[in-house]
Amino acid sequence: MNKSKHREELLISLENQNRELNEYAHVVSHDLKAPLRNIDTLINWVLEENKDAMSESCLNLLHQVLFNVEKMDLLINGILAYSTIDKLESEERLIDFNQIIDEITREIHIPKNIKISIINDLPKINGNTWRFKQLMQNLIENSIHYNDKNHGQIDIGCKENKNDFEFYIKDNGIGIAEKYHGKIFKIFTKLENSNQNSGAGLSIVKKIVEYYKGSIWLESKENIGTTFYFTLPKDHGKA
């Protein structure tokens, strides 16, 4: 067997393994949600029925269980979202990114000290609404979550290149140390231990960008802010 044939078979094998792993992750994470909801319901019922008879230490322990149930639910949601990206079969259409941002800013919680600005008119690109919404929402929520300034600012813009559109999302938050730049796109990598996010957000972003054959990178300085850049090719989804 020549090297070219062997390499081709290896790539096919890796693609099959990756697809099977994604399917397994999707099924397992979906099946985990039902018992997790049951745990949450039962503990809340116990708290409601017995809170006056319980000691403070016992109440604290049960609230700690609920805290960890919430963290697990976020992790499961992250796995589901990550494993769903390349499974969507809905028809792709022309998506207006201005409308996507408008929907996101109306649906998510934006603290009063955070201002989101669209710097220039954003393009319309062929794609899937859910994927593009996940892409932008995860980047925006990341910029909100890691902003420690009294007056937080998030700027969203885009420039048109010959073959693609180059987007950026810039914030004046805590920044990311250079040693983490190569790690943050790996699934479940978090810069802090918090129940506010699953750690899957940026890995979902990267997978969506790569699904559309784009690229993603960042520039960041600690205590000054971070800018995420990504490209989406113009010809994706066109005949």
Q: What DSSP state is assigned to residue 92?
A: P
Q: What DSSP state is assigned to residue 176?
A: -
pLDDT at position 68, please?
82
pLDDT at position 91, please?
65
The architecture (CATH level 2) of 3-84 comes to: Orthogonal Bundle (1.10)
In CATH terms, is domain 93-233 a member of 1.10.540.10?
no
Q: Give dist(CA 21, CA 2) in Å, integer.
A: 29
pLDDT at position 217, please?
95
The β-bridge relationship of strands 114-118 and 225-233 is unpaired
pLDDT at position 141, please?
92
Domain boundaries defined on the chain: 3-84, 93-233
Residue-wise pLDDT for 212-228, tens only, equals: 999 999 999 999 999 99
Q: Give dist(CA 20, CA 24) in Å, integer.
A: 6
Return the closest-CA partner of residue 164 out of 236, 98, 237: 236
Amino acid at 75: L
Q: Give dist(CA 169, CA 227) in Å, integer.
A: 6
Number of Cβ atoms within 10 Å of the Cβ of 217? 11
Reported in sequence order, the residue ranges of the chain that DSSP labels E, i.e. its strands, are: 93-96, 114-118, 124-127, 152-160, 164-171, 216-221, 225-233
Which residues in the chain come in under a pLDDT of 70?
1-30, 74-75, 77-91, 187-199, 236-239
Q: What DSSP state is assigned to residue 234?
A: T
Q: Is 230 exposed, middle or buried (0-12, 13-18, 19+ CB in 10 A)?
A: buried
Confidence (pTM): 0.68
pLDDT at position 194, please?
53
